[in-house]
Amino acid sequence: MRATCCGRHLSGAERISRVEDIPALTAALTERAMSHSARIPDEVHCTVERLDASEILHAELPDITTWDVPAWQAGRELAGRLLKNAGVAAHVVSRSLACLAEGPAPDGGVMRGAMVVDRLSGERLEPDNRRGVRVSRMDVAPDERVALRNLLDKVGLGHHRVLEALVLAGKVLKAPGIVAELCWSDAPDYVTGYVASPIEGYQRITRLKETGDPMGGRIFFIDRRNWDRDEFIAFLEQRGVLFHGKPGINPTRTWRV
């Protein structure tokens, strides 16, 4: 599902579903688009595609850590440290944080997809720096979704954004050549973001921008040794991935500058 208003992306979501569940799921996603907190969309598009079950990758979700920070400045400092720990060069970290905050698209706006950045040089490698690279065709296994939502509810992570970000980050961390991901939302009222890496998992940071800030997006940091851009993009955009089991949930940590 993709909803737009005045030509700009407003909301989106996707699921992997059994055929018999598609009508109800389509209705639920449409209702979600129409009840967006910011504005009513001009257009809502729901697309249904058949996936070959034999081609779906089955995987486990990354562990979750939540970092409580007092302000967005502290959040970005922490994000920078986590990215450096994952192997991203210091000058690439600072440049990437600034680019995401200022607007990475050619017109200084928000991109539809993600930036792809070399971890050592900082070179941008996405084919189209307006569109970026989209991540699609991933979900929690249908029989396990309720149990996972209940688990997240119990630890105060029941918002749908947490589950969707966790699933997306989980797929990104399976992509060939990935070193880390940085993300915060372009929704003005949602200030939490995350850094994800294959070693440390999904690390939520409670504040990565000021309330009311319309900027946001995501960056995939990659290691170009034995990396193929076409293979990387094809995996993220085309390969179906279903997640099973429950992620480990670490105690909340506090970061103070």
Cβ-count burial 93-105 (b if 16+ within 10 Å, e if not) = beebbebbbebbe
Contact call for residues 86 and 200 (beta carbons, < 8 A) = yes
Q: Rounded distance, CA 255 to CA 257, Å? A: 7
Residues 2-42 have pLDDT tens digits of 888 787 777 778 899 999 999 999 998 888 888 765 678 88
Pairing mode, if any, of strands 2-5 and 201-205? Answer: unpaired
Per-residue pLDDT tens digits for 177-235: 999 999 999 888 899 999 999 999 999 999 999 999 999 999 999 999 989 999 999 99
Q: Dmax over Cα atoms in the chain, in whole Å?
A: 52
DSSP-assigned beta bridge partners for residue 243: 59, 140
- Residue 108: both structure tokens together: 């200084």
